[in-house]
A and B are shown apart, each in its own frame.
Chain A
Amino acid sequence: MSALLQTHGLTAFYGDAQALFGIDFSINQGELVAIIGANGAGKSTFMKAVTGLVRTRAQQIEWNGQPIGGMPPADIVKLGIALVPEGRRLFPSLSVEENLLMGECAGRTGRWNLNRVYELFPILNEKRWQPSTSLSGGQQQMVAIGRALMSNPLLLLCDELSLGLAPIVIKEIYSALPRICAEGMTAIIVEQDVSKAREVSSRLYCFQEGTVPLHGASSALTAEQISQAYFGMPDKPAGAGAV
């Protein structure tokens, strides 16, 4: 089976600072893959590179076998890759419904529309005319997810869904995930909470300082392996340096 999305030795830079050092990643149709890693491991940069917000070389990212690295973000979303950005990034001067409608700009049709999003998150229907800034963090996250779904993506990228949210709210957000993925949606989620990531995903990539020291089936990876990949080398004295 050929991969839906693949990266080959993906590198990315912010000016002179290199953030990704050759990431090899692949995800198949219908999979839910989690990316974990500490702050600054390159998780968000990876998501930004895939969606075109950070420049990369064309051949480093393949979508259905076609090189898409470095394409403008507006073209990538039209292919069917949608991002729920870190920190939600709703449009503050748009109402809830207007934010959701922005997802239609991608011009993709499919099973997701306003009604389906309101079915998924009924609270948004009640607050549809309110300014998006008046919502709680969890509700804003629902808008961000709904907005991405409105573009009817084939691949949904979720960057730190639980950032800054109370545990009960995180649970509520994650409870929507199976329904989103029910009809063959492929998803990559970035998550700081390792146990949450293992629980929802079938495969796991652990990022560390712009590399992938560990990846595999979520159920097969041991807690020691993960913490080692997450923090570097715990059995060596501090300052000995990571791989």
Chain B
Amino acid sequence: MDALLLTVVQGILLGGLYCLFALGLSLMYGVMRLTNTAQGDFILLGSFTAIAAIAGLKWAVPDSVYLPLLLSPLLLLVAFGFGFVLQRQVLNKVLGKDPLPSLVVTFGLSIVIQNLLLEIFSADPRSIDSLGLNTASVTLPGGMALGVLPLFILSLALSATYGLQWLFNHSALGRSFRAVSDDLEIAQLMGLNAKRVYAYATGIAFMLITVAGVLQAMRTTVSPSDGPMLLLFAFESVIIGGMGSFWGTLIGALLLGITQQIGFRFDPGWGIWFGHIVFLLLLVVRPQGLFPKTVG
């Protein structure tokens, strides 16, 4: 019984990370029906940007242990700007009724980023020093020990989901997100600059992507070829949850995490495969996902 409970809890904690992988994808699809096939590689771009920035800071100020923490707000700002400009200069030009051009472009970006990272950082796995956070744990009254970093990641995932859903439902920006998603033609008729709205959405998505990238590198190691695997987890989370609902994405990610953990318990080689099987089964039984919001 305890073993099962522990597996589920570990799965939920893993799911928190997958949720952060997936939220950006969910946001971009929800607002502009763009499937970002470079999601995983952008997550890694976030990881490696942080790794390079921390290395640079350590070189400039050698005894700065806690200084890297100050990088986080700056990194988020850069991520937003990167997403904003990427959308305005590249992705807006390929959006349209036909989903193929944007798929091809993001697929191309994925290959470019992967090779760029390989060129600069080599294929060595790297990680971000979490100052012992990744080995720290808290022991619950029942005797169950939980990692501090995974708990932190889960709480970030919950806050990000809540924050994003709040932004979507209660802010003027969220209103424009929903309006362009509902009816692009009428939204433009109202005077909304859809391309600008898209750029904001992508900017926010890239902030989430960067958070995911940094946490992934803190939790484990990252190497330039990890992207497609990360994309797959993000993808499965979004599809299981149903397109366009952030709470759905969170639930999808948690289910995927739990499923993988259960698989891992049977055999260390089964976890990821187990996740795929459950994902495929769900596609057969409920192709629209558990909580679909977005139509078409």
- Whether the Cβ atoms of A105 and B176 lie closer than 8 Å is yes
- Whether the Cβ atoms of B188 and A101 lie closer than 8 Å is no
- Whether the Cβ atoms of A85 and B190 lie closer than 8 Å is no
**Residue among A72, A83, A98, A101 facing the most chain B CB atoms (10 A cut-off):** A98
* Contact residues on B (Cβ < 8 Å of other chain), bracket: 10 to 19
Q: Which of A73, A98, A101, A107 is within 8 Å of B189, CB to CB?
A: A73
Supposing A98-B175, A101-B175, A102-B175 touch, asked if A53 and B181 sit within 8 A by C-beta, the answer is no
Q: Any chain B CB within 8 A of the CB of A106?
A: yes
- Whether the Cβ atoms of A77 and B191 lie closer than 8 Å is yes
Supposing A85-B186, A89-B186 touch, asked if A106 and B178 sit within 8 A by C-beta, the answer is no
Q: Any chain A CB within 8 A of the CB of B187?
A: yes
A172 CB to nearest chain B CB (Å)? 24
Number of interface residues of A (CB under 8 A): 24
Q: Which of B178, B181, B183, B192 is within 8 Å of A105, CB to CB?
A: B192
- Whether the Cβ atoms of B192 and A74 lie closer than 8 Å is yes
Q: Which of A74, A92, A93, A151 is within 8 Å of B188, CB to CB?
A: A74
Q: Any chain A CB within 8 A of the CB of B193?
A: yes
B213 CB to nearest chain A CB (Å)? 30
A83–B190 alpha-carbon span in the complex (Å)? 9
Q: Which of B182, B185, B190, B193 is within 8 Å of A92, CB to CB?
A: B182
A48 CB to nearest chain B CB (Å)? 9
Query: What is the 8 Å Cβ interface bit string for chain A, positions 85-101, against chain B (1 contact, 0 not)?
Result: 10001011110001001
- Whether the Cβ atoms of A102 and B181 lie closer than 8 Å is no
A165 CB to nearest chain B CB (Å)? 19
- Whether the Cβ atoms of A94 and B175 lie closer than 8 Å is yes
**Residue among B176, B190, B194 facing the most chain A CB atoms (10 A cut-off):** B190
Query: What is the 8 Å Cβ interface bit string for chain B, positions 170-185, against chain A (1 contact, 0 not)?
Result: 0010011011011101
- Whether the Cβ atoms of A102 and B183 lie closer than 8 Å is no
Q: Which of B178, B193, B194 is within 8 Å of A91, CB to CB?
A: B178
Q: Which B residues are CB-close (under 8 A) to A106?
A: 190-191
Q: Which B residues are CB-close (under 8 A) to A186?
A: none
Q: Which A residues are CB-close (under 8 A) to B188?
A: 72-74
Q: Which of A53, A74, A94 is within 8 Å of B182, CB to CB?
A: A94
B28 CB to nearest chain A CB (Å)? 17
- Whether the Cβ atoms of A74 and B193 lie closer than 8 Å is yes
Q: Which of A85, A94, A98, A105 is within 8 Å of B191, CB to CB?
A: A105
- Whether the Cβ atoms of A78 and B191 lie closer than 8 Å is yes
Q: Any chain B CB within 8 A of the CB of A37?
A: no
- Whether the Cβ atoms of B183 and A91 lie closer than 8 Å is yes
Supposing A91-B178, A98-B175 touch, asked if A77 and B190 sit within 8 A by C-beta, the answer is yes
- Whether the Cβ atoms of A93 and B181 lie closer than 8 Å is yes
Residues 249-296 of B at the A interface (beta carbon under 8 Å): 293
Closest residue of chain B to A93, judged by CB?
B178
- Whether the Cβ atoms of B182 and A102 lie closer than 8 Å is no
Closest residue of chain B to A81, judged by CB?
B189
Q: Which B residues are CB-close (under 8 A) to A43?
A: none
- Whether the Cβ atoms of A102 and B190 lie closer than 8 Å is yes
A239 CB to nearest chain B CB (Å)? 37
A52–B179 alpha-carbon span in the complex (Å)? 18
- Whether the Cβ atoms of A107 and B191 lie closer than 8 Å is yes
Q: Which B residues are CB-close (under 8 A) to A77?
A: 189-191
- Whether the Cβ atoms of B190 and A51 lie closer than 8 Å is no
Q: Which B residues are CB-close (under 8 A) to A98?
A: 175, 178
Closest residue of chain B to A98, judged by CB?
B175
A42–B236 alpha-carbon span in the complex (Å)? 47
- Whether the Cβ atoms of B189 and A51 lie closer than 8 Å is yes
A218–B148 alpha-carbon span in the complex (Å)? 78
A91–B175 alpha-carbon span in the complex (Å)? 10
B130 CB to nearest chain A CB (Å)? 39
- Whether the Cβ atoms of B189 and A85 lie closer than 8 Å is yes
A89–B183 alpha-carbon span in the complex (Å)? 8
A52–B185 alpha-carbon span in the complex (Å)? 10
B193 CB to nearest chain A CB (Å)? 6
Closest residue of chain A to B168, judged by CB?
A93
Q: Which B residues are CB-close (under 8 A) to A93?
A: 178, 181-182, 293
A95 CB to nearest chain B CB (Å)? 9
- Whether the Cβ atoms of B179 and A91 lie closer than 8 Å is yes
Q: Which B residues are CB-close (under 8 A) to A51?
A: 189
Q: Which of A78, A94, A107 is within 8 Å of B179, CB to CB?
A: A94
A170 CB to nearest chain B CB (Å)? 22
**Residue among B175, B186, B187, B293 facing the most chain A CB atoms (10 A cut-off):** B186
Supposing A91-B182, A91-B183, A92-B182 touch, asked if A151 and B175 sit within 8 A by C-beta, the answer is no
Q: Any chain B CB within 8 A of the CB of A210?
A: no
> Which 6 A-B residue pairings sit nearest by Cβ, starting from the closest?
A106-B191, A105-B191, A91-B182, A77-B191, A93-B178, A102-B190
A-B contact pairs, 11 of them (CB 8 A): A52-B189, A74-B190, A78-B191, A85-B186, A91-B178, A91-B183, A102-B175, A102-B179, A103-B190, A107-B191, A151-B190
